Amino acid sequence: MFKPHVTVATLVHAQDKFLVVEETINGKALWNQPAGHLEADETLVQAAKRELWEETGIDAQPQHFIRLHQWIAPDRTPFLRFLFVIELNEMCAAEPHDDDIDRCLWVTAEEILNSPNLRSPLVAESIRCYQTGSRLPLDVISEFNWPFTEGVNGGGA
Q: What is the CATH number of the domain that holds 101?
A: 3.90.79.10
Whether 9 is in a domain gets the answer yes
> Model's pTM, two decimal places?
0.91
Whether 154 is in a domain gets the answer no
Whether 111 is in a domain gets the answer yes
Sign of torsion, CA 41 46 52 58?
negative
Query: Of 17-26, 30-39, 146-155, which gets the smallest average pLDDT?
Result: 146-155
Tell me: the pLDDT tens digits for 23-65? 999 999 999 999 999 999 899 999 999 999 999 999 999 999 9
Q: How confident is the model at residue 149 (pLDDT cuts 50, 70, 90)?
A: low
Higher pLDDT, 155 or 91: 91
Q: Which domain holds residue 69?
A: 5-141
Contact 143, 149 (CB under 8 A): yes
Helix (H), strand (E) at residue 82: strand 78-87
Whether 47 is in a domain gets the answer yes
Distance CA 25, CA 34 (A): 15
The residues that bridge with 24 in the sheet, in sequence order, are 29
Q: How confident is the model at residue 156 (pLDDT cuts 50, 70, 90)?
A: very low
Whether 156 is in a domain gets the answer no
Query: Of 31-45, 57-71, 95-109, 137-151, which gets the smallest average pLDDT?
Result: 137-151
Contact 46, 34 (CB under 8 A): no
Distance CA 101, CA 125 (A): 21
Number of domains in the chain: 1
Closest CA to 11 of 70, 71, 77, 56: 56
Whether 58 is in a domain gets the answer yes
Higher pLDDT, 122 or 2: 122
Closest CA to 11 of 60, 77, 80: 60
Whether 147 is in a domain gets the answer no
Distance of CA 117 to the CA centre of its chain: 18
Whether 153 is in a domain gets the answer no
Distance CA 54, CA 151 (A): 28
Q: How confident is the model at residue 145 (pLDDT cuts 50, 70, 90)?
A: confident
Q: How confident is the model at residue 92 (pLDDT cuts 50, 70, 90)?
A: very high
